[in-house]
Structure formats: C-alpha cells, structure tokens
Amino acid sequence: MATVFERIIRGEIPSVRLYEDPLCLAILDINPVKKGHSLVICKEPLATIEDVPDATLGHMMGVVKLIDRRLRAVLGCDATNIVINNGEAAGQAVPQLHIHIIPRYKTEDKRPPIPHEKYSDGEMAALGARLRLGQEEGA
C-alpha cells in the first residue's frame, strides 16, 4: 500500500510544499511540534537510512540546510532540531525516509522529551570499543 508521502508526492493528498526536486520533496508537517516544522521526504518509498543510497541522503541533507536557513530567516528561530525517526521502534510512523526540521527558540526548553540512561562503571568504555568503526568483522 502506498505511504501517505507517496500519495502527497503524486498530488493525491494536499500538502504545503516548500521545495521539490527529482530526489526529494519538502513540505510543512501537518501536526507541527512548532509552527514551521518541515519534512524533507525521500521520493523513493524507502524506509530507513540503510535503504536509501548515500548520494540521496547527502542530497537531502543539503536540502535540510536550505530549509533550516529559511526557517531562521522567516521565523527568526534560533536553532532547529533535525530528526530522523529511523525505524518503527524509534517512532517512525510513515515508512518512507523523511527528515524533520523543527524550529526552536532560546526561550523554550531545548531538551528532547526522552529520559536519559546512565552507564554503570566501565560500561561506557566497553560499549565504545564494541561500536568503534573500522574494527567490525570484514572491515
């Protein structure tokens, strides 16, 4: 079944479009965290960063930069949260890769509403050793 974003791209569902090119579409999010909350959507219906070619991801980040600049210029926001919910367990509701750009202001709480965890003794170094790039099998 087509995702809501495929239907938006095809023009079957209305949207407020900010930018479009052959690889991506930028629109306003219909349920904004802050007014101006924008989405840069991959036109190919691929769900996660693992699925999307690096060149497309890089291109989309360039578009994110343009939207970020525009939000700052037009809304006067001081910063943005740039978020990818990369998979269902991370809260991704629409399985078509999209990057959220959320305007933020100095006057409001800047922390994301996710409770933090604490490492036990030695756990952080051990996890770092397991996650360090270049040491994985076959690298």
List contacts with ligand AMP (CB under 6 A): 4, 13, 15, 27, 29-31, 85, 91-94
Instruction: Judge whether 48 and 97 are in contact, CB under 8 Å.
Output: yes
Report which DSSP code applies to 48. Answer: S
Our CB check for ligand AMP shows the closer of 31 and 120 to be 31
Max CA separation in the chain (angstroms) = 54
Cα 79 from Cα 20, distance rounded (Å): 23
Shortest spacing between CB 127 and ligand AMP, in angstroms: 26
Cα 13 from Cα 125, distance rounded (Å): 49
Shortest spacing between CB 121 and ligand AMP, in angstroms: 35
Name the active-site residue from 37, 59, 98, 100: 98
Residues paired with 41 in a beta bridge:
25, 98
Shortest spacing between CB 107 and ligand AMP, in angstroms: 23
Our CB check for ligand AMP shows the closer of 7 and 127 to be 7
Can 59 be counted among the known catalytic residues? no
Our CB check for ligand AMP shows the closer of 48 and 85 to be 85
The alpha-carbon radius of gyration of the chain (Å, integer) is: 17
Catalytic residues: 98
